[in-house]
Amino acid sequence: MVKGLPDSSSPELHGAYGHELKNIALDSNNKLYVSIASTCNACLADTQSNPLRGAIYQYNADGTQGHLYAHGLRNAEGLAFVPGTNHLWVAVNNRDNILYPHQDATGQYQQRIPAYVDNHPPEEFTHIQEGANYGWPFCNPNPDQGVNHMPFDRDVEFNADGHVNCDQMQRIDKGIQAHSAPLGLVFLQDPSAPNPQHTGALISLHGSWNRTVPTGYKVIYFPWNNQSQQPGQQIDLVTGWQDNTSVWGRPVDTAIDQQGNIFISDDLSGTVYKLTYQA
């Protein structure tokens, strides 16, 4: 049993916890990893709490000897290990309503610009390294030159003066369209299987509530490079829960059975879908 995890009953939170759900993963050495998400969109209190929020802690499987493993992760919803390894990867819900961070000719510095907010900062799919800081809420990955190993911009609400060095943050391996709300992460890694999509990662995108043009509402797939241990280019695997006027499904997580069927949960319609491979 893991004791002392914060929830809305924690005295300093006064009944409010924006991302109260905890997510866990267990490695082959019986170490338990627990994501403690932020209480807010972006705030300093979570970086000063005990335990830190916006972080991942490691415990023995029985909940003892907990310690901070990595931080700067606003809301790591999906936690999973690459099969056959102890390489922990996470899918992260990033912040909302970011202010424009560039002092350029647009004159928009420190303003909330909907067209900028729509695409910044990206959601995150990244490898977790012990002791690393992934930036939140001081540094935001910038996808403008591509979504692989993105550089960071200073967050102008919390780090305009650069007192936190964004060059020292651990870069994000792969960005996903901002406000897609990634939830479940599942690795499907079996190179001997006949289905080529049994090698890679599935992420369920729950969908946006705060984007000018809604996005998400799908299950995406990343092929996996076993040599580099890096994801390839994102592929939309299952779509159709959203049209131009409405949304009728919001995928949450996936699971796979021994026959290779993929099961997809949807908490808007209360449905589980079965996806079957056909040659």
Q: What is the pLDDT of residues 209-262, one digit of tens each?
A: 989 999 999 999 999 888 889 999 999 999 999 987 899 999 999 999 888 899
Contact 143, 37 (CB under 8 A): no
Return mean pLDDT, the chain: 94
pLDDT reading at 196 higher than 60? no
- Residue (of 244, 186, 188, 182) closest to 218 by Cα position: 182
CA 12 → CA 9, 52, 56, 190, distances in Å?
9, 13, 20, 46
Cβ–Cβ contacts within 10 Å for residue 55, how many?
A: 25
CA 50 → CA 6, 13, 45, 57, distances in Å?
9, 12, 10, 12
Contact 256, 263 (CB under 8 A): yes
Residues 162-182: tens digit of each pLDDT: 999 999 999 999 999 999 999
Domains of the chain, earliest start first: 11-275 (2.120.10.30)
- Residue (of 147, 51, 145, 131) closest to 94 by Cα position: 147
Furthest CA-CA distance within the chain: 57
Q: Which pLDDT belongs to residue 163?
A: 98
Instruction: Read off the pLDDT band of 69 (50, 70, 90).
Output: very high
pTM of the model: 0.95
Instruction: Read off the pLDDT band of 190 (50, 70, 90).
Output: low
Q: Which pLDDT belongs to residue 279?
A: 72
pLDDT reading at 191 higher than 60? no
- Residue (of 124, 32, 148) closest to 74 by Cα position: 124
